[in-house]
Amino acid sequence: MIRIVSAKFLTSSVNSLDAPDFGISEVAFLGRSNVGKSSIINALTNHQGLAKSSSTPGKTQLINFFEVIFDNDGQKIPIIFVDLPGFGYAKVSKSLYSAWQKNLDEFLKNRINIKTFVHLVDSRHANLEKDENLGVYLNEFIRNDQKILNLYTKCDKLNQSERSKVLKMDSSAILVSSTKKTGIDKASETIYNSVFGL
Ligand code: GTP
Ligand code: MG
């Protein structure tokens, strides 16, 4: 069985140049602002407040690194989780916004250690153009040792028929709720397996 046993904050970076190389495989959590990136890191690691979350979009402004220890049948394996600023958040000034997007773009394209991009999609709005664009964007530069994983967040807000609709659209969809802790074990096992190409 695969589960997460501990997690700790490592450091924050502004861009790819000042981000240290930890020599450990990384998982980058991506998605629109407010979709629940920081919250899912807290739910996966069972560590409230590890990644700062807020109901105000634009909470995460830096590239934040967390060391997460997985237990695979007694073997302890570290993986780095990377919490990122959301895209599509325009409440800050235009110049700050474009600086963020440039930093994010360079980081995603240059960061050798990223093995998995976890694309978080709000399960209530599962076919927004912004998310489609993110998928297209990632596919433009993804290497063959990298994977994209879609997680559908806030599924506690869906009824049964709305859940079925998401699964019909994406048969491999993983529905998660950070508040209700739904789908969290499945998500962590899927992330682990994708990092190691299993
Ligand atoms: P940025 O850092 O601004 O890009 O946002 P983020 O994607 O990190 O979102 P964050 O985790 O800060 O969560 C945004 C809001 O959504 C907060 O008010 C959370 O409490 C709420 N939220 C996150 N996950 C869930 C969930 O599973 N269910 C519900 N109902 N609310 C959630
Ligand atoms: Mg955040």
CATH number of the CATH domain containing 22: 3.40.50.300
Query: What is the reported pLDDT for 91?
Result: 61
What angle is formed at CA 12 by the lines to CA 6 and CA 15, rounded to 5 degrees? 135
Query: What is the reported pLDDT for 179?
Result: 97
End-to-end Cα separation, the chain, in angstroms = 14
Query: What is the reported pLDDT for 92?
Result: 65
> Which of 76, 57, 3, 40 minimizes the C-alpha distance to 156?
40
Report d(CA 57, CA 36) in Å as an integer.
10
Give me the residue label for tokens 């958040």.
89
The rounded Å distance from CA 125 to ligand 1 centre is: 14
CA-nearest residue, atom 2 of ligand 1: 60
The rounded Å distance from CA 24 to ligand 2 centre is: 22
Each residue's pLDDT tens digit, 66-109: 999 999 999 999 999 999 988 766 566 777 777 778 888 999 99
Residue range of the domain that includes 148? 1-194
The rounded Å distance from CA 168 to ligand 2 centre is: 28
> Which of 79, 55, 76, 54 minimizes the C-alpha distance to 65?
79
The reply to whether ligand 1 has any atom less than 6 angstroms from the CB of 195 is: no
Best probe residue, ligand 1, of 178, 180, 181 (max atoms within 8 Å of C-beta)? 178
Interacting residues of 166 by C-beta distance below 8 A, sequence separation 6+: 123, 126, 152, 155, 158, 173, 175
Question: What global pTM score does this model have?
Answer: 0.95
149, 119 contact by CB (below 8 A):
yes
Count: domains in the chain:
1
The reply to whether ligand 1 has any atom less than 6 angstroms from the CB of 190 is: no
Query: What is the reported pLDDT for 60?
Result: 81
Query: What is the reported pLDDT for 83?
Result: 97
Which protein residues have their CB within 5 A of the ion that is ligand 2? 37-38, 59-60
Query: What is the reported pLDDT for 88?
Result: 66
- Which token pair is 70? 């997985």
CA-nearest residue, atom 28 of ligand 1: 154
Q: What is the mean pLDDT of each run of 10 residues along the chain (198 residues)?
A: 96 93 97 94 97 86 95 97 82 71 91 97 92 92 96 98 95 96 97 95
